[in-house]
Amino acid sequence: MKRCSVLNRIGFIFSLTIALPSSLLAEGKVWSLAALENRVAENNLEIHSIQSEHGIKNVERDTLESRFQPTLYAKAGFISEKTIDEDRTGPVATLEGRWNIYRGGRDKLAKKTSDLEIRAVDLELAARKQSLTFELRSLFYNLLALKEKKKLLRDEMQVNDKQRKVAQGRASSGVATRADELEFRLRGQELQSTASSLQAEEEKNLVTVKNIANIAQEEKVVVEGSFPRHSAIDTKILINDSPAILRMKNTLEIISQEKNSINSTYKPEIDAFANVGKIYPSEKFKKVESVLGVTLSMPLYDGRLQQSALQIAQLSQQKAQLEIQKLELDTTSMIEGVEIERKEIERLREINDQRLAYAQKYLTTTVQEYDRGVKNSPDVVGALEHLLSSKVRRIDLALQSAVLGAKAMSLKGNPTINDKVTGDLQ
């Protein structure tokens, strides 16, 4: 008896704990979806890493510009020359300059390629922000669902405890046996077990949210919001704005520029140069010496390196084109699948709403017949489970709809932070 008393007290304390409002249990900062998304945009480490890569590409672009500017060097030293005609020894000091006049257009191609590489980093950043937005929204809606389910379980425990007391009174009066009360006690333990699992799942999701948003794990986080309801998807807009497709098309442009750069390899280069000062070694400085000139150079044979490089670029271009086609087909299929699933969820919700109404009526009728002695405790427990199952299903379908909407938006180019949505469980 003492053991049962202790278990009853533990069960009562556990029930009281989860029955308390979450605002009393959680002292952490309350986060909305928009606030979390802003936090991710400003503090996520992956985003910062890609932004750093963008800075590197910009510096490389500036360095590329400087490579095509004139160069000027000051040189000085001591030289000893021995030739057939004469021997010369002495100091030298010159000012040397060189300027590339023409490079077969490779300078302009290099600049275009650099611009495309910067755009590639921009698209990578957009794609990563997009995937993080989808991941964060999925976690956020899961946390909302867990919060709704925990509240549902708190209410259900109160209803179950009320029925347990009724069964206890019936057993004391001899109308029923102790088995009736034990039936509700058993159900109460099962509800507590489910609540514990929900709590563990919530904690795991919060760990992931903190990691994405770069929030210290020791900080307490509480989410507040509602499930959105999404309308039909615009396929054309999604296809045109897909970051994945835009990245592949940008890659195709880079390959095209590489082909142009390879083709320009055999074009001539023209350089102008000038040396002024004491160019030739001698013991005495008689006058300022100078060498001015223009040189033209053109490769004639490179062992088929250019041809091989061009073939590789052409094959890479064909591969990229095929990947773009496949990606467009895959994206179209995903969008159509999202719309089909959205319609199916709506149909299931209509069915579940009817089931929920029937379950409520069934419970009311069963409790009334139980009070008259027509039904017994397993019948009441079964009716309670039918109603609870329908309510949980309602939450699950709202969650599926919200996550599906987040998935659809992840196919867009620029998912907004503050979506105008309507509450879905109101």
In whole angstroms, give the CA distance from residue 169 to residue 341. 49
**Cβ–Cβ < 8 Å for 32, 136:** no
DSSP result, 290-320: EEEEEEEE-----TTHHHHHHHHHHHHHHHH
**Cβ–Cβ < 8 Å for 131, 415:** no
In whole angstroms, give the CA distance from residue 77 to residue 91. 6
What's the pLDDT at 344? Answer: 95
pTM: 0.77
What's the pLDDT at 27? Answer: 59
Question: 3-state DSSP call for residue 223?
Answer: strand
What's the pLDDT at 287? Answer: 75
R_g (Cα) of the chain, nearest Å: 38
* Contacts of the segment 284-289: beta carbons below 8 A, 24+ positions apart: 284/90
In whole angstroms, give the CA distance from residue 188 to residue 383. 15
What's the pLDDT at 421? Answer: 37
Question: 3-state DSSP call for residue 288?
Answer: coil
In whole angstroms, give the CA distance from residue 36 to residue 322. 38
Question: 3-state DSSP call for residue 88?
Answer: strand
Identify the bridge partners of residue 166 per DSSP, sorted by sequence position: none
In whole angstroms, give the CA distance from residue 14 to residue 199. 12
Question: 3-state DSSP call for residue 135?
Answer: helix
In whole angstroms, give the CA distance from residue 203 to residue 52. 32
Q: How many CB atoms lie within 10 A of CB 370?
A: 21
What's the pLDDT at 232? Answer: 62
Query: Positive or negative, the Cα torsion across 223, 226, 228, 229?
Result: positive
Give the C-alpha distances (Å, rounded to integers) separating 356 from 11, 186, 226, 384: 29, 24, 21, 11
**Cβ–Cβ < 8 Å for 120, 251:** yes
What's the pLDDT at 266? Answer: 77
DSSP label at residue 287: S
What's the pLDDT at 134? Answer: 93
In whole angstroms, give the CA distance from residue 35 to residue 43. 12
What's the pLDDT at 299? Answer: 79
Residues 6 or more apart whose CB falls under 8 angstroms from that of 314 comprise 259
Which pLDDT tens digits describe the chain residue by residue (426 residues)? Answer: 444 444 444 454 444 444 444 444 445 789 999 999 999 999 999 999 999 998 998 888 888 777 677 888 888 888 877 777 777 787 888 889 888 777 777 778 888 888 999 999 999 998 899 899 999 999 999 999 999 999 999 999 999 999 999 888 888 887 777 888 899 999 999 999 999 999 999 999 999 999 999 999 999 999 999 888 766 655 556 676 778 888 899 999 998 888 888 777 778 888 888 888 777 777 677 777 788 888 888 877 777 787 888 888 889 889 989 998 998 888 888 888 888 998 999 999 999 999 999 999 999 999 999 888 888 889 999 999 999 999 999 999 999 999 998 888 887 655 443 333 334 554
Nearest to 394 by CA among 343, 351, 341: 351
What's the pLDDT at 235? Answer: 52
Q: At 337, list the tokens.
A: 């699948």
* Bridge pairing between strands 29-31 and 221-223: parallel
Backbone φ and ψ of 94, nearest 5°: -135, 160
DSSP label at residue 19: H
User: Domains plus CATH for the chain?
Assistant: 28-410 (1.20.1600.10)
